[in-house]
Amino acid sequence: MKKLHLLCSALLFTLTVLAQENYFYPNAGKFNPAIPTPAQFLGYNIGEQHTRHERIVEYIKELDRLSDRVSSEIIGETFEHRAQITAVFTDPKHHQNIESIREAHLAGQKNGATKNVPLVIHLAYNVHGNEPSSSEAAMLTAYYLTASESEETKQWLSQMVITMDPNINPDGRDRHTSWANMHKGFPPVADPNDREHNEIWPGGRFNHYWFDLNRDWYLATFPETRNRINFFHKWRPYVQTDHHEMGTNSTFYFDPGEEASNNPVVPGYLYKNIYPKFAEYFTKAANNIGSMYFTKEAFDKLYPGYGSSYINFYGGAGFLFEQGSSRGHVQETTTIPITFAFTIRNQFTASLATIKASLAEKDALLDLRKNFYETAKKQAEASVIKGYAFGDPNDYNRTKAFVDLLQIHRVDVYEVPNSKQFYVPVAQDNHIMVRTIFENQIPYKDSSFYDASTWSLIHAYGLPFTEVKTTMPLGNKISGPLPAITSEVTKSSYAYLIDNADYNTHQFIYALQKQQVIVQTATRPFSTTVNGKEKKFGYGSLVISVQQQRLNADELYSAIQKAATVSNITVHAVPTGFNLSGVDLGSNYVRTLKKPEAVMLIGTGVAAGEAGEVWHLLDQRLGMPITKVDILNFSRLDLA
């Protein structure tokens, strides 16, 4: 009887899987039976359950293990130690020669000499954790590319290299996945008022620090972003997708977007020629499955930090897909209920349509990038500005942070000989990104924006800079992050001084306070002799007395050395408290800093992104813990 029950269950599951195949890819032809469908691997049908991130990773690895069409790579991990997995799908013969293909692809872009090189495109999913349909679609797409025996699929693999990031935001996705699965009813509840469809604060949209990773391609603040930017530049695809969800009563959006909100720095033919052509393929695919959709409204490509726009600044086409969300497994709408499976099908259909369109429009994509580089070169030659010199001679760490970000975006940076400045020439391959980072773009076709409206990064770092209008002699080209230049700390028997002009000063202060060091600050400027020369110290400079400590001189010296190394801070040892000008070190204008014990109210009513910004700042920049207290618990908080 038990065997009969198991047999019936297996038969029922098989029939259900077959029904799924008919739903997601009808008339697709034969599939390799040695490759498990997502449903067979997971033990439930796609759309019946929200899939945890580690199961997505395991499935991609299983496809890699079983098929010579697939290779996978772990490119890093999140703050919560979830693996960031990527995959490459192509013909087995290409996998044997994949590095040579990648090098030929990169080398031939500027002159269009990649006609006989497989076309590289990238499919990216689920940057917002509570927009989960796309990662489920990623598994369907991965299965299709691995198992399909159709001639069309074989042609794709023969003529393309298709890279994939199935889940850009693993931490946020798992937060939402747990919520949706935890509150799922049997049968599922479609009422929008049900708890399943209404996450509690902060929700799954954000990453660990409650930041919207779809705003971070440009800022590159988080490891998830830096890892995927490195992967992007490793391959520099011609096409990149960015799959999202939107309000439940919306339909399905695909590009082109709102014309008035295209980025004015990006050459206009990208928007005029490529996006409308690809829309024809998306339209046909959506029509074939009867899905309603809209285009040319609501969404823009102004901000360089979106997953669908970052590629535009490197001569590629990024495509945004926005799917009306079931926010759970099924939810009522103003028409008929929307199911999780339906949202997945639209994302999956868009994925295959992108692949089809990319190969069909290969010549246009090659011309796009070739023209992009030619246009950039002409713009640079015509520009009155020949480059940008920047740097703060009194704040190496701030300058280093900006230079390191430029390196992440593959912008060429040079040292300025005999100075503490750096120079970015406009005449370089990444001219369009240079303009984006340094220029103040004022005129726009429209006065309203979907989201971000400013992005001149040089201003965000508060660095002094100059528009250089003559040719400058170039020093060494920077390769990789700037080195730390902490000077050796000389031991003092009297006091240590630190100029409060450094980007990492506050990190240094807290690193000392954690070690029980008493730190003071001067509220008036002064100058003193350091190594035989007069040195001026401004408002807020730090004073660390050797005598006024709970630590002995050796312990203090060790603590200062440790903090200076971590913070890349220069410390000056002085033998006297008598200064050449201004207040002396024992003045009442030199006041003791209290070690902060911070608390932050969070929860409903607080902007999660803003709270996350403070949390990340204190955690990652200062190394300082912050107590996060929900508003509901505030009445029980002992502020003492």
3-state secondary structure of 528: strand
Instruction: Report the alpha-carbon distance of residue 495 to residue 166 in Å, rounded.
Output: 55
CA–chain centroid gap for 597, Å, is 31
Cα gap 528→580, rounded to integer Å: 5
Q: What does the DSSP 8-state code read for residue 298?
A: S
Q: Which tokens hold the place of 71?
A: 């290779």
pLDDT, one tens digit per residue, over 52-87 is 999 999 999 999 999 999 999 999 999 999 999 999
Is the alpha carbon torsion for 453, 458, 464, 469 positive or negative? Answer: negative
**Six-digit token pair at 280?**
């024809």
Q: Dihedral of CA 228/315/133/162: which sign?
A: negative
Burial (CB count within 10 angstroms: exposed 0-12, middle 13-18, buried 19+), residue 613: middle
User: Which two tokens mark 443?
Assistant: 């005129």
Strand runs labelled E in 234-378? 239-246, 252-254, 317-324, 330-331, 338-339
Q: How far is CA 241 from CA 126, 278, 362, in A?
A: 11, 12, 16
Taken in order 114, 115, 118, 123, is the CA torsion positive or negative? positive
**Rounded (to 5) percent helix, strand, coil in the chain:** 40, 15, 45
Residues 447-475 as b/e (b if ≥16 CB within 10 A, e otherwise) read eeeeeeeebebbeebebebeebeeeeeee
Which tokens sit at 65?
Answer: 């293990």
What local confidence, expressed as pLDDT, does residue 90 receive? 98
Regions of the chain short of the pLDDT cut 50: 2-15
Tell me what pLDDT residue 117 has. Answer: 98
